[in-house]
Amino acid sequence: MLHNKSYLKRGRGGKVFKAVKEHYLRDDIWCSVECCTICSHTEPILSSIPAKTKLVTKPHYIIPDTNVFMNQIDIIEHPALQNVIILQTVYEELRHLSLSVYNRLKKMINDPNRKFYVFANEHHRDTFIERIKEESPNDRNDRAIRAAVKWYATHVKQIADKGKSLEIVLLTDDAENIQRAKQDGLLAYSVREYVEGMIDTPELVDMLGNVRISDNKDKKIVYEEHLSASQITNGIKNQTLYQGTLNISMHNYLEGSIQNGDIQITILGRKNLNRAIQGDIVAVQLFPKSEWLRAPTAVIVEEEEEKNLAEELQENCKPKEQSEEADSDLFEAPQPTGKVVGIIKKNWRPYCGFINKQSVKGSSTSTLSENVSVYPIDRRIPRINIRTRQAQNLMGQRILVAIDSWHKDSIFPMGHFVKALGAAGDKLTETEVLLLEHDVPHQEFAQQVLNCLPVEGDLWVVKDEHLQRRADLRHLNVCSIDPPGCTDIDDALHVRQLPNNNYEVGVHIADVTHFVKPNTPLDEEAALRGTTVYLINKRIDMLPGLLGTNLCSLKSKVDRLAFSCIWELSPEAEIVNVTFTKSIISSKESFTYEEAQARIDDQRLQDDLTKGLRVLNDLAKKLRARRMERGALTLASPEVRYKLDFDSQDPIDVEMKELRETNALVEEFMLLANISVAEKIYKKFAASSLLRRHPPPTAFKLDNLNKAISAFGLTLHYETSKALADSLDEAVLPEDPYFNKLLRILTTRCMMQATYFCSGTFSVHEYRHYGLASEIYTHFTSPIRRYSDVIVHRMLAASIYDDEVYGSELIDKKKIEQLCDVLNHRHRMAQMAARSSVELHTNLFFKGKTEQVEGYVTRVLKNGFVVLVQKYGIEGIVYSSDNSKTKLNTTASNSTSLIIYNSHDNSLDSITGDGKKISIKLFDKVIVQVSVDEDLVGGGAGGMRQKLKLELVKPVVPGLSVSNDTSTDNNEIIEENNYNNKKDKRENTNGGRKKKMKIENM
Ligand SMILES: [Zn+2]
């Protein structure tokens, strides 16, 4: 049956015309109840005996309305809710309202255990309704929902006539809707009413979205009203307001900033942040110049006493101590400040956190519902008030909470409990926390993803049919070189001399796209994950293990499919030509860096493979020299590697990563392959190539660094990467060999991030990769663990084979651009998760230990300074100011005010009793005492929020330094002996080890 739906539409020129949309009504839409004999259905989803509750005493199916999904999705996600009917009306509304809620619901629908059925009520002859005159679309949809509920209620009564009974329950938090449904004789309840009737799952009550819990007894308005959407739009249009993504400082949760074009606006204090949360897109109003910032702000140590918060919020949040700073400005020009006047797009997500013990009032046996505050693990997120009956149980645990609302008369946002993650300090719990906090998808692969794998499983082998369109390179002396224990081998190499004395060099990359076809569930999952994530003790794969560590992995002594990039190079490593081909290879050896190096060095070995390694090494050196000549940078990061105990996976030792020539060998040819492939795909896909760029650094940050090293008579030039590379090479202090490395670390931090982009969205001169000094670059060499490389493989195949079939995924500029956004986000999160994992293991390592070690000052703040301890690759703040809690542990806490921030030299100065001046500034070598701060506001033991405590030992600053305790040195010697005994155990090569660390972020 065809049903015409006509409506008026305004055309481009303002002309009104009538549009007609065809709407089919069908008779074959079934109820999907298993025992129904009225409908003819093949695979019913809804169970014949759905659950009953204390409230609804008969077995029943649930039909929630749109707002229930929008506001209570955590409840809906609870496994106790089954046999749910999703009306098409609701499903479509959700898709428009919130893609994230829609996607979460989609997941539940795909889970057969949940028994969620989508009922196409808009196409059902008996449930479709026309919108009546004067009726708003909302009212029409509410009526459509009630009509469908009514149909279902009647229908299930017919199914269950013989003594049995089945009911339909409408879930809605709209009082009027409940009223009307009841008038129609339907069962309708609010979510709270319904959930309170589910007595077997009391935690559900805690998970109810909280719209209002006040933390502000006097109900004083504490925040300014946000501007309306139209006011914001106008303000941005006429440039009185600035739009940007709010970024809260890691060192100070009351300091945020937005970047709008070239200007960065700092937002200071709770009141000016005006309920905006990290990541929100906000509208900011600029303050008059007189209120701009002239010196760096102080760090906030821990959550301050919050009893006077309401008063604090009434004050004006101007940067403090402006006046006394006036004639010794640190900034060349004052930094713009402003306040948030509206939130354009919220970026709320579920947050991991812990309950503040002080906020729990009930007795230890209490199960009454009470208001408690939750401190998110992410220090940039404000504490969240929730209502819970499980406060006693949840203390000392990591929990997941969601924010529901933030009213202008409430100091903190309100939210609800989502789930408990486990005991604080437990390594598994904390690893789960860091994965959640960094938005790393880490569930097991779903069955529909696994269904895309070859049916032969690990018995899959290369067959003759694979030779089609592939070069058979199995006769070549191909080998791979990787870190020890590497099981996901992406790349392998070969070299042979040509009759003309030139060399043929091949880089062979796992042919992942042979197995991962576009638009399959496997492809979608890999695109969503974006990258494999390497933690200290764990690896979260982008592809299922069968592919990643077996069928795609270029293991030795088996035939594997590859995508090969083959150059003819002159003996001087000049490219004569390059070809690309899909291939079959058979790697002869899987070397570790160490093994390959040993082969090269052992002159007694004269076999072809070893000779090949020497040629490759020689060519790589020439390539590298040429790259350096062009101005490629050698950057640095304080990377260390933890050795884990084999059984417990606890860190037992730490070492600096050692780089051998063979690391550089592999790196050099991978860079070359990436560049050659970038050039090739750009020829075919000029507007939609997936490339990687690295913009030059901004002057501001490097200027600050320059100011600091001018004290040593040094300057960095950075007009070009060549100038920077040269001045870095020259910046050497003979008396301090570590200085140059430290300067490179700090220079690296001034760099912009390298990012993926779609060639059509930038102009050609912006393609440049500053760090690698290359005009064009992409990622091709690691398709097992990076999705960018999967797309690039498809583009390369389309570039070399005329008959290659491909779709919009390779030519749609918009799609590539969106994919790049996702990949950049995943990539950044993966790096941060890896860093958090190091931090977690560092804390485990220092648990119960105190050690005094050498470090360098890498940043001077108003009330403290940051120290990098190179031995452990850790960095932390030594606090010097009054509001620091650490000072209570120091020897002379009554004299701390002696340390003064000198903005002119960017140093912290102290005058000792005998009138001597001690100054702490950037690049100073200091000795600090490292321990783990166990005592945190309600945080309990361990975990990501736990902090390393750094205290100054030397230079001796009265009121700040702790005593030089030599007994720790003895401890160290004992550790040392221990370590020798454990040598065997330490050889554990964990799967978490990251490959080719050095070029990873290039
Ligand atoms: Zn039926």
pLDDT at 787 over 50: yes
Segment (H or E) for 787: helix 787-800
Ligand 1 mean position, distance from CA 62 (Å): 15
Residue of 823, 733, 774 whose CA lies nearest to 629: 774
- Taking only the tens place, the pLDDT of each residue in 243-296 is 999 999 877 788 899 998 878 899 988 889 999 999 999 999 999 988 887 766
pLDDT at 318 over 60: no
Q: What is the pLDDT of residue 658?
A: 62
pLDDT band at 393 (very low <50, low <70, confident <90, very high): confident
Residue of 614, 635, 623 whose CA lies nearest to 670: 623
| Range 195-214 average pLDDT | 79
Ligand 1 mean position, distance from CA 37 (Å): 7
Phi, psi (degrees; rounded to nearest 5) at 875: -135, 140
pLDDT band at 462 (very low <50, low <70, confident <90, very high): very high
Both tokens of 21, joined, read: 């949309």
Ligand 1 mean position, distance from CA 151 (Å): 10
* 871/655: higher pLDDT: 871
| Range 39-54 average pLDDT | 88
pLDDT at 781 over 80: yes
Ligand 1 mean position, distance from CA 31 (Å): 4
* 663/893: higher pLDDT: 663
Ligand 1 mean position, distance from CA 152 (Å): 8
Question: Residue 953 in contact with residue 929, Cβ under 8 Å?
Answer: yes
Residues 6+ apart with CB under 8 A from 640: 654, 655, 656, 657, 838, 871, 872, 873
Ligand 1 mean position, distance from CA 201 (Å): 30
- Taking only the tens place, the pLDDT of each residue in 12-31 is 544 555 555 566 788 788 89
Q: What is the pLDDT of residue 29?
A: 87
Ligand 1 mean position, distance from CA 112 (Å): 19
Ligand 1 mean position, distance from CA 162 (Å): 15
Ligand 1 mean position, distance from CA 139 (Å): 27
Q: What is the pLDDT of residue 219?
A: 60
pLDDT band at 319 (very low <50, low <70, confident <90, very high): very low
> DSSP letter string over 432-476?
HHHHHHTT---SPPPHHHHTTS-TTGGG----GGGGTT-EE-TTS
pLDDT band at 325 (very low <50, low <70, confident <90, very high): very low
Ligand 1 mean position, distance from CA 228 (Å): 47
pLDDT band at 892 (very low <50, low <70, confident <90, very high): very low
Neighbours of 290 (CB within 10 A): 8
Residues 6+ apart with CB under 8 A from 576: 502, 567, 568, 569, 570
Alpha-carbon distance 219 to 214, whole Å? 8
Q: What is the pLDDT of residue 10?
A: 52
Question: Residue 794 in contact with residue 550, Cβ under 8 Å?
Answer: no
Ligand 1 mean position, distance from CA 76 (Å): 24
Question: Residue 47 in contact with residue 55, Cβ under 8 Å?
Answer: no
Share of the chain above pLDDT 70, in %: 82
Q: What is the pLDDT of residue 342?
A: 94
pLDDT band at 215 (very low <50, low <70, confident <90, very high): low
Ligand 1 mean position, distance from CA 153 (Å): 11
Ligand 1 mean position, distance from CA 51 (Å): 18
3-state per-residue secondary structure call for 532-558: CEECCCCEECCCCHHHHHHHCCCCECC
| Buried residues in 177-188 as b, exposed as e (16+ CB within 10 A) | bbebbeeeebbb
Question: Residue 460 in contact with residue 552, Cβ under 8 Å?
Answer: no
Ligand 1 mean position, distance from CA 34 (Å): 8
Alpha-carbon distance 728 to 718, whole Å? 10
Ligand 1 mean position, distance from CA 469 (Å): 53
Show the domains of the chain with their CATH numbers. 31-206 (3.40.50.1010), 229-345 (2.40.50.690), 351-423 (2.40.50.700), 447-691+771-835+987-999 (no CATH), 696-751 (no CATH), 847-968 (2.40.50.140)
Q: What is the pLDDT of residue 651?
A: 60
Residues 6+ apart with CB under 8 A from 589: 479, 480, 556, 609
Phi, psi (degrees; rounded to nearest 5) at 962: -95, 165
Ligand 1 mean position, distance from CA 128 (Å): 17
Alpha-carbon distance 663 to 668, whole Å? 9
Ligand 1 mean position, distance from CA 39 (Å): 4
Report in angstroms the alpha-carbon separations of 176 from 62, 144, 180, 187, 938.
19, 15, 6, 14, 43
Phi/psi class of residue 800: alpha, beta or left (left: φ > 0; alpha: ψ in -120 to 50)? alpha
Lowest-confidence range among 142-156, 584-598, 885-899? 885-899
Ligand 1 mean position, distance from CA 117 (Å): 13
Q: What is the pLDDT of residue 967?
A: 44
> DSSP letter string over 748-772?
HHHSPPPEEEEGGGS-GGGG-BTTT
Ligand 1 mean position, distance from CA 36 (Å): 5
Residue of 631, 852, 840 whose CA lies nearest to 724: 631
Ligand 1 mean position, distance from CA 160 (Å): 10
Q: What is the pLDDT of residue 392?
A: 84
Residues 6+ apart with CB under 8 A from 137: 131
Ligand 1 mean position, distance from CA 851 (Å): 72
pLDDT at 6 over 80: no
Q: What is the pLDDT of residue 254?
A: 85
Q: What is the pLDDT of residue 568?
A: 97
Q: What is the pLDDT of residue 916?
A: 75
Ligand 1 mean position, distance from CA 191 (Å): 26
- Taking only the tens place, the pLDDT of each residue in 694-721 is 988 877 778 878 888 888 888 888 888 8
pLDDT at 454 over 60: yes
Q: What is the pLDDT of residue 281?
A: 93
Neighbours of 23 (CB within 10 A): 14
Alpha-carbon distance 321 to 268, whole Å? 14
pLDDT at 896 over 80: no
Both tokens of 374, joined, read: 């939750």
> DSSP letter string over 339-380?
EEEEEEE-----EEEEE-GGG--S-TT--S-EEEEEEESSTT
**In the predicted model, what is the mean pLDDT of the chain?**
82
Ligand 1 mean position, distance from CA 155 (Å): 6
Ligand 1 mean position, distance from CA 131 (Å): 26
Ligand 1 mean position, distance from CA 150 (Å): 14
Ligand 1 mean position, distance from CA 897 (Å): 79
> Rounded to the nearest 10 degrees, what angle do helices 593-601 and 661-684 cross at?
110
Alpha-carbon distance 507 to 206, whole Å? 56
Ligand 1 mean position, distance from CA 68 (Å): 25
Ligand 1 mean position, distance from CA 40 (Å): 7
Q: What is the pLDDT of residue 105?
A: 94
pLDDT band at 69 (very low <50, low <70, confident <90, very high): very high
- Taking only the tens place, the pLDDT of each residue in 256-268 is 999 988 788 999 8
Phi, psi (degrees; rounded to nearest 5) at 463: -120, 170
Ligand 1 mean position, distance from CA 159 (Å): 7
Alpha-carbon distance 385 to 411, whole Å? 10
Q: What is the pLDDT of residue 405?
A: 87
Both tokens of 838, joined, read: 């190091």
Lowest-confidence range among 224-228, 331-335, 626-630? 331-335
Ligand 1 mean position, distance from CA 500 (Å): 79
Both tokens of 648, joined, read: 């417990």
Ligand 1 mean position, distance from CA 30 (Å): 5
Runs of H (alpha helix) within 73-208: 73-77, 88-97, 99-110, 137-159, 175-183, 191-196, 203-206
Q: What angle is formed at CA 998 by the lines to CA 993 and CA 1002, rounded to 5 degrees? A: 120
| Range 428-450 average pLDDT | 91
Both tokens of 573, joined, read: 């490593």
Ligand 1 mean position, distance from CA 315 (Å): 64
Both tokens of 478, joined, read: 């191909």
- Taking only the tens place, the pLDDT of each residue in 528-555 is 999 999 888 889 999 999 999 999 999 9
Ligand 1 mean position, distance from CA 171 (Å): 21
Ligand 1 mean position, distance from CA 41 (Å): 8
Ligand 1 mean position, distance from CA 178 (Å): 25
Alpha-carbon distance 1000 to 639, whole Å? 13
Both tokens of 578, joined, read: 């390059």
Question: Residue 24 in contact with residue 43, Cβ under 8 Å?
Answer: no
Ligand 1 mean position, distance from CA 124 (Å): 13
pLDDT band at 767 (very low <50, low <70, confident <90, very high): very high
Segment (H or E) for 745: helix 739-750
Ligand 1 mean position, distance from CA 32 (Å): 6
Alpha-carbon distance 84 to 115, whole Å? 7
Alpha-carbon distance 656 to 669, whole Å? 25
Q: What is the pLDDT of residue 646?
A: 56
| Range 73-88 average pLDDT | 93
Ligand 1 mean position, distance from CA 64 (Å): 19
pLDDT band at 895 (very low <50, low <70, confident <90, very high): very low
Ligand 1 mean position, distance from CA 186 (Å): 18
Q: What is the pLDDT of residue 888?
A: 36
Neighbours of 468 (CB within 10 A): 7
Ligand 1 mean position, distance from CA 113 (Å): 20
Phi, psi (degrees; rounded to nearest 5) at 289: -55, -30
* 496/983: higher pLDDT: 496
Q: What is the pLDDT of residue 154?
A: 92
Q: What is the pLDDT of residue 964?
A: 67
Question: Residue 163 burial by CB count (10 A; 0-12/13-18/19+): exposed, middle or buried?
Answer: exposed
pLDDT at 9 over 80: no
Question: Residue 692 in contact with residue 774, Cβ under 8 Å?
Answer: no
Ligand 1 mean position, distance from CA 33 (Å): 6
| Range 600-614 average pLDDT | 94
Q: In which residue are the tokens 């002869």 written?
A: 588
Alpha-carbon distance 454 to 467, whole Å? 18
- Taking only the tens place, the pLDDT of each residue in 348-388 is 888 999 988 877 776 666 667 788 889 898 888 999 999 88
Ligand 1 mean position, distance from CA 106 (Å): 23
pLDDT at 866 over 70: yes
pLDDT at 297 over 80: no
Q: What is the pLDDT of residue 575?
A: 96
Order across the sheet with 851-861: list the strands: 874-879, 864-869, 851-861, 925-933, 947-954
